[in-house]
Amino acid sequence: MTSDGFVTVTPASYASSNTQLPSTSLPASAGVLAPFWDQIFYSATGGVVKWEERTVGGQKVAFFD
Amino acid sequence: MDDPRGRELAHHRAAGRRPAQRHRHLLFRSDARLRRRLHDPGHVAIAVGRLPGSRLRRPKAQLSWDGTWPIAAGQSLELEWNALRPDNHTLTSAALFCARNESDDGGTNFGTPGWDGGSCDTSSGYAAYNYADAAIFDIQATGTQLFTGIDNAVSVNLSFAFPFFGTTTTQI
């Protein structure tokens, strides 16, 4: 999980700006899912990104908020 | 292999009921039927279907536009945030769309689909709407914080495995 709005199973895959995809730093081979492809700002007083697992309808669901 | 949909259909058949129609979560259409439904003479229409858990049978949002709007080849359009509403839209101009066709220059332009320095109001960032009939799970009070700054990357270990790009993983 990255604060740039994407997930990947490739360790250390990382990018700091939402350039066009695929890019040198995030090639298609990295297996990237980028639903919020942008820099998500962290704020000590505002919102933070959290995650939690819950069981919904008998299935485990991972939430990222 | 477990087949929940097959079990559901068999259950309805056994009870003599007609199975409920399944709705796709996302629906993109560009056809005459949808244009007629929108009562709009536009050439192209897009509808976004209901969310999982929604009881509504109509699309969550739909809009259409006509051939007078200039859309250059290779250009992507982003609907301005304040036009994102769970209602029907028949937009009368392309003014609410921002062209997104620039590359990241390492400076002010962050490239498609990011801000390209155009005329759209991007100050409010992403907008989200809590649909009254859709299940919303708010984990802000109970979840685990992921990042402590910008440009962070962390690994999350899940208690279940899931398929992801041709592999199976328990960590993202």
Biggest distance spanned by C-alpha atoms of chain B: 64
pLDDT band at A35 (very low <50, low <70, confident <90, very high): confident
Q: Is residue B172 part of a domain?
A: no
Number of domains chain B is built from: 1
Host domain of residue B7:
1-138
Burial class (CB in 10 A: 0-12, 13-18, 19+), A24: exposed
Structural domain includes residue B99: yes
User: Does the distance separating the beta carbons of B143 and A50 come in below 8 Å?
Assistant: yes
Per CB-CB distance under 8 Å, the chain B contacts of A2 are 151-154
Q: Is residue B18 part of a domain?
A: yes
Per-residue pLDDT, B120? 54
Rounded CA-CA distance B172/B162 in Å is: 10
CA distance B42 to B90: 9
Residues of chain B with Cβ-Cβ distance to A56 below 8 Å are 135, 137
What pLDDT shows up at residue B142? 92
Q: Does B169 touch chain A (CB under 8 A)?
A: yes
Count of domains for chain A: 1
Question: How many whole angstroms separate alpha carbon B62 and alpha carbon B102?
Answer: 27
Residues of chain B with pLDDT under 70: 1-135
> Greater confidence, B69 or A22?
A22
Min Cα–Cα distance to chain A from B138, Å: 8
Compare B3 and A41 and report the one with higher pLDDT.
A41
Give CA–CA dist B64/B33, Å, rounded: 12
Among A7, A13, A14, A18, pick the best mutation site for testing chain B contact (most B Cβ within 10 A).
Answer: A18
Closest partner residue to B171 (CB to CB) among A9, A33, A48 is A9
Give Cα B114 distance to the centre of its chain.
17
Contact B116, B101 (CB under 8 A): yes
Q: What is the pLDDT of residue B80?
A: 60
Asked if B113 contacts A39 with a C-beta cutoff of 8 angstroms, the reply is: no
* B171 interfacial to chain A (CB closer than 8 Å): yes
Q: Is the torsion defined by CA of B35, B40, B45, B51 positive or negative?
A: negative
Q: Which of B81, B100, B123, B147 to mutate to test the interface with A (most CBs of A within 10 A)?
A: B147
How far is residue A55 CA from its own chain's centroid? Answer: 21
Put simply, the answer to whether B143 touches A14 (Cβ < 8 Å) is no
pLDDT for position B29: 41
A10, B77, B100 from B116: Cα distances, Å: 29, 12, 7
Q: Is B156 helix (H, G, I), strand (E, B) or coil?
A: coil
The answer to whether residue A51 scores a pLDDT higher than 80 is yes
Chain-chain contact of B152 with A42 (C-beta, under 8 angstroms): yes
- pLDDT tens for each residue of B48-66: 554 445 455 555 555 555 5
Domain, as residue range, for A34? 1-65
pLDDT of residue B22: 40
* CA pair distance B52, B60, nearest whole angstrom: 11
- Residue A48 confidence (pLDDT) above 70: yes
Burial grade of A20 (CB within 10 A; 0-12, 13-18, 19 or more): middle
